[in-house]
């Protein structure tokens, strides 16, 4: 299971590096535009009752369809669906449980990068929610994981993580003032 976690975590770091993301909250509109993805609300009733979003691949063009939810939840749903795209998930491949886990991990990693939260010395869910513009529920999950990471104190051990941290260094310096 750790390999799955590590692969999706690393994919999130690579994504942040590739798109030059250096501040929070993440500008998802800019990212989907750069990726050529269209995002639209589920006005046609395509989503199943338990779905917040889906990705449709129409002849190589990705479309993310999202339920009309509060903006923080919608941002997480879009990041989750971007995760499916980046990780190469398709309707006919992989294990759906693992795919969902990977997409969740990816979304958390790009919306609230642990090394950035560490650099800012942020611990509380409310602070994470505000800084990252994510729901308090997602922020509580992130805060619990951050508590584990703070105890381990193994930040910046990966070259990718160090690169992400460096990319956010100006943001961290300005935010901490």
Q: How does pLDDT run across 130-173, given as a tens digit for each residue?
A: 999 999 999 999 999 999 999 999 999 999 999 999 999 999 99
User: If pLDDT is split at 50, 70 and 90, which confidence band does 14 have?
Assistant: very high
Q: How confident is the model over 48-94, as pLDDT tens digits?
A: 999 999 999 988 899 999 999 999 999 999 999 999 999 998 765 67
As given in the structure block, the two tokens for residue 12 are: 């999130």
Sequence-ordered strand ranges (E) for the chain: 38-41, 53-58, 61-66
3 state DSSP class of 53:
strand
What is residue 96's predicted lDDT score, i.e. its pLDDT? 86
Residue 156's Cβ-count burial label (10 Å; 0-12, 13-18, 19+) is middle
35 close to 60: Cβ distance less than 8 angstroms: no
Q: Which residue has better confidence, 176 or 118?
A: 118
**Global pTM?**
0.95
What is residue 23's predicted lDDT score, i.e. its pLDDT? 98
What is residue 91's predicted lDDT score, i.e. its pLDDT? 64
What is residue 21's predicted lDDT score, i.e. its pLDDT? 98
Task: Give the helix, strand, coil percentages of the chain, each rounded to 5.
Answer: 60, 10, 30
Q: Which residue has better confidence, 92 or 112?
A: 112
User: If pLDDT is split at 50, 70 and 90, which confidence band does 105 have?
Assistant: very high
Using the 8-state DSSP alphabet, how is residue 158 labeled? S
How far is Cα of residue 10 from the mean position of the Cα atoms in its chain? 12
């Amino acid at each position: 299971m750790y390999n799955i976690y590590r692969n999706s975590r690393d994919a999130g770091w690579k994504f942040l590096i590739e798109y030059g993301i250096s501040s929070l909250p993440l500008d998802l509109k800019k990212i989907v535009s750069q990726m050529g993805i269209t995002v639209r609300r589920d006005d046609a009733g395509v989503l199943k009752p338990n779905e917040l979003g889906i990705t449709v691949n129409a002849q190589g063009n990705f479309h993310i369809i999202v339920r009309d939810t509060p903006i923080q939840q919608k941002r997480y749903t879009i990041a989750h669906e971007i995760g499916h795209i980046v990780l190469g998930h398709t309707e006919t491949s992989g294990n759906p449980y693992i795919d969902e886990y990977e997409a969740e991990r990816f979304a958390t990693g790009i919306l609230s990068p642990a090394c950035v939260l560490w650099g800012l010395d942020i611990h509380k869910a409310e602070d994470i929610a505000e800084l990252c513009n994510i729901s308090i529920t997602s922020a509580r999950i992130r805060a619990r994981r951050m508590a584990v990471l703070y105890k381990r104190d193994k930040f910046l051990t990966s070259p990718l993580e160090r690169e992400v941290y460096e990319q956010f260094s100006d943001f961290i310096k300005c935010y901490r003032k």
